Each structure stands twice: as structure tokens, then as C-alpha cells.
Amino acid sequence: MSYAGPDFDPPQPRRPRRGPLTVALAALVPGALLGWVVYQTVGGGDGASAAPAPRGSAASPAPSTRSASPADDGKQHSGATPASGSLQGKVVVVDPGHNPGNFQHTSEINQKVDIGTNWKECDTTGTSTNDGYTEARFTLDVAHRLRTLLEAQGATVKLTRDGDSPAWGPCVDERARIGNAAHADAAISIHADGSAEGNRGFHVILPGSVHAGAADTRPIVDPSHDLGTRIAGTFLRDTGEPPSNYLGEGTGLVTRTDLGGLNLSTVPKVFIECGNMRDSKDAALLTSGAWRQKAAQGISEGIVSFLRES
């Protein structure tokens, strides 16, 4: 997401195979930072190799290595029939950030909605790479891939938007309500950042404690932190993308209280900024279909780990 947008305020400054690496990554202490240090130690920092799966993670399909382009929207991976599996009976809501139609509906997305702590605009346009590959396209692509992986584990997956429906939005408060109404066992909002060149890496946004107006995140703070920490570890391992070098102090984790999608959620929920679309190195990854499959795999394995323990 672009931090220039109204719902995204500028950031404040400042287990199949067992072994030592498996234990270190699975522990995630303190958070994703330890996973990054271990990852660098084994020479995985360039994303060329992946560490063994952490204890308790699902045996999942290998990431796609076929040639792909931004136009590869992942639809060939979506729409799978839910299978019997370890997540049978679990519900996951996947929220692909923004909407391609937001650019044509600026008056609608500028409507104010109540996010508990204050009022903010319904949604933003999101960001894009310098070559014009939009965040909205990226997030839907990853959401389709993620849905397929989770459905293969037996989960029921609901998307807050899909394809051209709706034409704009939904508003951030409605995105939260979709997860709440589904009684989701876990929810995730997928984004990519729009920061400056040289700022790169992923970060997972956790809900802070909010009790104001329509918002009360207190019951979901702890489970959301668990969910986000697991996703940070598996995303790092599967994609090779480093934790953000400009937010989170190297942990890959950021806590915020200004996001309506988190403030209004009554189910465990996190955001993930998969990388910075305005950085040339990150943009090369985000526009690769093969890498987006790895991103979906990393997110999926974190969610699976969380749901198996919950």
C-alpha cells in the first residue's frame, strides 16, 4: 500500500525436517529478526535457496518455477474445490488490498468511514511499480494463489473482492466486516508498499490495542501477533525477501493503531506488505509470477501453522 493514502498514515520514525535451523526459524525469537540472521548465516539472503520447513508447517506444493509476467494473474491457481485436510472447518478471509477501479471512483473512495479512533477515507488507489504494475493487480494475484493453497489444506477461503467485483473498494470498514461476518479463524490483508528507492523488504503489520468508538482490538491482539509472527518467518524462508530495512527495526513486524481494517476486526488479522514497489530490486520480484507463488506459499504456511495450533 502507499503510505500517501488516507487509510495508511506515514510510518512513525523511529515441522517435517528437524535440525538446528528448523528450530531457530520455528521459534522466531525475537520475531522474524532471528529468522533473518539464521537465513543469512546459511547463505540464503539472495533468495536462491530455501531452508527446511519449520516444525508443524504443512507439506505444501512446491512454488511454481515457470516463466511468468505481471499479466500472469494467478487465476490458473484459483477456484480449487475445498479438499479434506488438516484445515477442514477452518475459515480464512483474504483481503486483496485496493481495487483497480479506485482510480475511476475517486469521489466514492474519498467518502469518510468510522475506523473507531477517527474517520478516514473509504479506500485509496494504492501504489504501483515505476513501470505501471499496480498494487491492486499484485494483491489479487497473490490472493488467488493463496486461496488455492489454503483450499488444498481443506480451509474455506473467502475474498473481500475478486476480479472486477466490486467496481471500487470495498471500503476499509466493510473489508473488516466481511471477515467478522464469516467468523474467520484468520484474516490477512495483502499489500505492497510505495516507499522510496533503496527502501526494501517486507513487513507484517499487527493490530495494536485499541478501545475507542466502534473499535475494540483487545481480544485479537495476542492471536494476531502469533499469526503475524508465524507469517513473517515462513514468508522470509520461502521468498528470500529480507525484513524491511526502513520499518520494524529488522524484525519484519510493525504494530499500528491507525488502520481501519485492523481496528474494526473482531477476528485475528494482520496486514502484509510484501515488498516496496518503488524499489527496483523489490519491483523485479513483485512483477514475477514465480516469486508471487513463493509469496503465497510463505503466507499460506504461516496461516496453516497458526490454525493448526489454534
Catalytic residue among 121, 273, 301, 309: 273
For the chain, the farthest-separated pair of C-alpha atoms sits apart, in whole angstroms, at 55
**Cα-Cα-Cα-Cα dihedral sign, residues 304, 308, 60, 81:** negative
Confidence category of residue 66, pLDDT binned at 50, 70, 90 = very low
Mean pLDDT of 162-171: 93
**CA–CA dist 237, 49 (Å, integer):** 9
Its pTM surpasses 0.85: no
**CA–CA dist 138, 140 (Å, integer):** 6
List strand residue ranges (DSSP E) for 175-279, in order.
186-193, 203-207, 211-212, 215-216, 253-256, 269-276
Is the confidence at residue 145, as pLDDT, over 80? yes
CATH architecture of 69-309: 3-Layer(aba) Sandwich (3.40)
273 annotated active-site: yes
The Cβ-side half-sphere exposure at 294, using a 13 Å CA radius, reads 22
Cell 480449487 sits on residue:
80
Whether the bond into 166 is cis, omega within 30 of 0: yes
List strand residue ranges (DSSP E) for 68-136, in order.
91-96, 112-114, 119-121
H-helix segments, the chain: 20-27, 32-41, 106-109, 135-152, 172-181, 221-239, 260-263, 280-286, 289-309
**CA–CA dist 116, 223 (Å, integer):** 20
Q: Of residues 115 and 6, which shows the higher confidence score?
A: 115
Averaged confidence pLDDT in the chain: 82
Tens-digit pLDDT profile for residues 106-134: 999 999 999 999 999 999 999 999 999 99
**CA–CA dist 281, 143 (Å, integer):** 22
**Cα-Cα-Cα-Cα dihedral sign, residues 137, 143, 146, 148:** negative
Domain residue ranges in the chain: 69-309
Amino acid, res. 138: F
What's phi and psi for 27, nearest 5 deg?
-65, -40
pLDDT in the model for residue 16: 40
